[in-house]
Structure 1
Amino acid sequence: MKHSILVAITYLVLVGVTSAQDFPVTIDHKFGETTITAEPERIVSVGYTEQDDLFALGKTPIAVRPWALPVPHGIWPWAEAAAGDAEPVVLSSGPLDFETIAQLEPDLIIGIYAGTTREEYDRLSLIAPTVLQPADYVDYATPWEEQTRIIGRAVGKLDEANTLIADIKKRFEQAREEHPEFEGNTVVAAYYSNGQAGAFASGEPRSRFFTELGFVIPEVYDELAGDAFYTAFSLERFDLLDVDLLVWYWGELESDDILPLRRTLQAHQDGREVILTPQQRFALSFSSPLSLTFALDELVPELADTLK
């Protein structure tokens, strides 16, 4: 027990984090650093997933930026319990509405899963302290636990954030122990769009869900993606999707131009193919402590059945 406490204290010293109650807090990101002088109360989320982390930490955002499918107040089913009766303003899912954001008078803006440009950051930081993704990751590829930890520091709830992360890590560990058949099998998080097939890179949250379960992402997807979080390739290279477990995120998969190609894949012929429902797809896209709980409950049994 004493050893565990000593390890925890040493870790906190080495990484230089502040305790949950200490302000000011300075957070480094891809365009520099942002200092938050006091615990924020009026938080605007301009990223597409950060509202989940805020709800999970008991901090209700005053505005959120929705992602694709419309849901009331940007609150997906897995976040409803944590959100309670919250009704944040729903911003545009397209270009940032700087005027509306300014009118809301936030004391913190969070945009980690946002792909924010330098120009956008400069304008947002004139409104309020703005926290973006770390410089170490390409747009939309910050690990979910890193995002949760950053948000926890920004809102004065680092301890709670670390607890959320530890709980989800335990869920993944339990799933790996219960399903050793996952270990080492190759997987692809794939899609089909506009006459091209594609796959998400290994660092992208949608792929990391599977690597956390013990699956392996073939290196070819990272090589093709380069500095992006995904890759697209012509249908002539459709064979790149022939892996042990083929997971489809979206696409008209029964259409005349794609179905014949799917039938050429051994994964399809053997039934090692999973087509995600919209809720499953967005749960993995969010990859938050709330949505990952939902995804683990839904998908682990389905993946196990598919690999039988």
Structure 2
Amino acid sequence: MLDRRTFLRATSAAMALTAAAPALSLATVMEPASEQWPRRVNHLLGKTLIPHAPRRVVAISTGQLDGLLTLGLVPVGVTRVDNHELTPGYLQKAFPEQREALAQITDLGGRGSPDIETLAQLAPDLILLNKTALKFNGYQLYSRIAPTVVTRGYGANWRHDFLIIANALGRAHEAHNWLARLDSDMQRFASSQGSRPPTVSFLFASGPRLRLMCRGSLVGGLSDALNLARPHAQQFKGNSLDISPERLDMADADWLFYADQGSGLASLKKQPLWNYLEAVRNRRAIRIDADAFYLNAGPSACRHIVDTLTDTVRPI
């Protein structure tokens, strides 16, 4: 039986492996050829032997469900963001034909502490997780259950991680075609922007906490690719920046996209500066889906973001 003590002891060794693991380029990620089995898949902690095309896949990290569905495979078990649906609403809308299959996915609990015994009982033939999950979970323990592949995680790495997942499934060709379509759409929109594109801002209100999503985030990278500008107050890198209610003016832009979690919406709209923002006063403050924009770094989330921005943003 896989006890929690063994599970936790494996953590430090896994983190050491992560630190020592070589960086992967997109070229090395895509070896070998798509239909060759068995295969050794390059990932963050080295190489994993996968004997046959996986059919019973478990995704430990949120965002990986997105990648699997985009590639046409419904996993047998996934974790969840605390206090959120097991399958985010944007994925339910994107894959209505999978409604019954999605309802059969086993809930493995929170992404920080998955139910290991339930996971093992699912008899998976592939386990996916990202590096952030290794703060709690042991790579060696997962590898005792099934071949395990580790991705980087975080929004800036979504494309790299998607290709690793595709290679593990033997669906690299499908992934490349999907990415080519997205890139083509983004390039078309970007080329239509003039010399002074409109500015965009992305705000996440989680209870009383206010965060600006920066250029290093998923949505930040996509807005850059679309040739949309950021306000002068937001010319910084990184994933996100916490701001106080007194600095809510930093969130102002031609177009403001905001999402909330918990009591975030009520808290945000009570702030004295909210109604003084130009975007709010001009009805260019757009409420968005937090799951797609901020909480799940996957390809279908990217498609949702790109479609929302290109359908909404217009010159001012």
Give the TM-score normalised by structure 2. Answer: 0.75
Partner of 1:117: 134
Aligned to 2:108: 91
Percent same amino acid at aligned positions? 23
Q: How many residues align?
A: 283
Consecutive unaligned residues of structure 1, counting only runs of 5 or more, are 1-10
State whether residues 53 and 169 of structure 2, in contact with CA within 8 Å, keep that contact through their aligned partners in structure 1: yes
Q: Deviations over 1:235-294 (max 9, x none)?
A: 232232123322111164455874421133333334332222xxx332334354434444
Residue 156 (structure 1) aligned with residue 170 (structure 2): yes
1:133 lines up with 2:133 in the alignment: no
Say whether 1:78 aligns with 2:90.
no
1:57 pairs with 2:57? no
CA apart distance, 1:62 = 1.1
Structure-2 change in CA distance of 1:65 and 1:218 (3 Å): farther
Name the CA shift for 1:262/1:35 in 2 (closer, same or farther; >3 Å): same
**Alignment correspondent of 2:292:** 283
TM-superposed CA distance for 1:33, in Å, is: 4.3
Matched, 1:26 2:41: yes
Query: How do 1:166-205 residues align onto structure 2 when only pairs under 5 Å count?
Result: 166-177=180-191, 179-180=192-193, 184-205=197-218
The answer on whether the counterparts of 2:40 and 2:49 sit within 8 Å (CA) in structure 1 is: yes
Q: CA deviation at 1:149?
A: 0.9
CA distance in 2, matches of 1:270, 1:69: 32
- 4+ residue stretches of structure 1 with deviation over 6 A? 11-16
Q: Distance in 1 between matches of 2:148 and 2:29?
A: 22
How far does residue 162 in structure 1 lie from its aligned partner after superposition?
0.7
Structure number with greater CO (CA < 8 Å, separation at least 6) is: 2
> What's the TM-score once normalised by structure 1's chain length?
0.76
Give the distance between the partners of 2:166 and 2:56, measured in 1 at CA.
15
Partner of 1:261: 273
> Aligned partners of 2:49 and 2:196: how far apart in 1?
42
The SS at the match of 1:91 is strand
Distance 1:163 1:176, change over 3 A: same
Q: CA deviation at 1:98?
A: 0.9
Counterpart of 1:300 in structure 2 is 310
Q: Alpha-carbon deviation of 1:168?
A: 1.3
1:187, 1:216 within 8 Å by CA — same for their partners in 2? yes
CA offset digits 1:181-210 (Å, max 9, x no partner): 596433221122343321123222233332
Separation in 1, partners of 2:88, 2:212? 30
Match of 1:36 in 2: 50
In 1, Cα distance between equivalents of 2:172 and 2:196: 32
Indicate how the Cα distance of structure 1 residues 141 and 33 shifts in structure 2: closer, same or farther if over 3 A, else same: farther
- Paired residue secondary structure (2:313): helix
1:210-239 deviations in whole A, cap 9, x for unaligned? 2232223469768585xxx32212223223
Q: Report whether the alignment pairs 1:234 with 2:248.
A: no
